[in-house]
Structures are given as C-alpha cells and as structure tokens.
Structure 1
C-alpha cells in the first residue's frame, strides 16, 4: 500500500485494512480518534517499531515521561516536531 492509498482509505473506511501491520493499524486508529484501540494494538508487542509507535501514542496523550521511556526502548530520539509531523513520518516509514 502506498502512503497516498493509506491516506485515501483512512478517509473512506472506518476499519483498518487487515493487511496492515499492528503498528500501522495503531496509527490508523489513533488518527481516527480511537487512542485506546491504538494502544491496545501495540501495548503487548515487544519490538522497536511497536515501541516507537507506543512512544508516539503517549506523546499524543500528553504523558511525556512515559513517551520518553518508549522512545528509549525504541532506540529513537524524542521527536522534536509536532505529533502530526511525527504521525506522517512514521506512516511513510512503515509503509516502505
């Protein structure tokens, strides 16, 4: 799926496509306004990608201490831009 396809489908569909990975589904549901579902999708995963999405979700939530912990687990620097910029960057990266 391309980035443009992801954005188009995000506008048109309520449910994340099943072919997406759990981290991409989490980003989908967060963008749809369902932070809880997004968090549930990645909370139990133990890899660097899921940890990065987890960090982003806690940043969106406003829990910067928890976000910092997850950025460290993801071995990623704390994102300095807006959450919208981070979301777009992560979606692009994960769709490669």
Structure 2
C-alpha cells in the first residue's frame, strides 16, 4: 500500500487490513483520536511508539510526546501534524516517499 492508497482508503467506513500503528494513523486521520490511542497503547515496538508520540503531540502533551519519540528512536517532530502523520504513514507502509523522512 502506498501513501496515496492510504489516503484514498480514508473515504471508507473502516480501515483496510493494516498493522496496528498504521491502523491507528488511519483512525487519527478520520478524527478518532481515542480509538487510535487505544490501538497504539496495546501495541509494542518502535513503530507503535512513534505513532503514540504523534498522538500525544496532537493533544499538546509535549512532555509525554517526547518520551514516546525517545522510545521510538525518533527526533521530536517540529512540522505540521498532518505532514507528520503522512510521513509516518508513508514510512511504515514502506512507500518510497518516506525514505527521505527516515
């Protein structure tokens, strides 16, 4: 799946089969922060931590976000939230667009 496929799937009522961190990003893009947070809270690994960081950044809890960025081994994001979400989605999907964001 590419980032464009991911974006197109947002028109659907439910996500396609996705790894938990990407599914959390899908729900985030649909405006369901709570559902996205529950998904990554129950997932392990650096990808889930990266998405978890993004979610706490969205809510303005920058201290908590910084903790999750450290667990993910990623720098704290500084750009726009939608830009960051798309970069994370592309990276986790293996979309070539994301290779420069890694």
Smaller-chain TM-score bracket: over 0.9
Q: How does 1:33-72 map to 2 (within 5 A)?
A: 33-72=31-70
4+ runs deviating over 6 angstroms:
none
Deviation string, structure 1 residues 59-93 (Cα, Å, up to 9, x no partner): 00111111011011111110111111101101111
How many residue pairs match? The answer is 94
- Where 2:74 maps in the other structure, the secondary structure is coil
**Please, what is the CA RMSD of the aligned residues?**
0.9
Q: For residues 31 and 2 of structure 1, what CA distance do their matches in structure 2 show?
A: 15
Q: For residues 5 and 29 of structure 2, what CA distance do their matches in structure 1 show?
A: 15
Residue from 56, 78, 82 that aligns with 1:84: 82
TM-score (norm: length of structure 2): 0.88
Q: For residues 93 and 87 of structure 2, what CA distance do their matches in structure 1 show?
A: 10
Partner residue, 1:16: 15
Q: For residues 93 and 49 of structure 1, what CA distance do their matches in structure 2 show?
A: 10
Q: For residues 92 and 67 of structure 2, what CA distance do their matches in structure 1 show?
A: 21
Partner residue, 1:25: 23
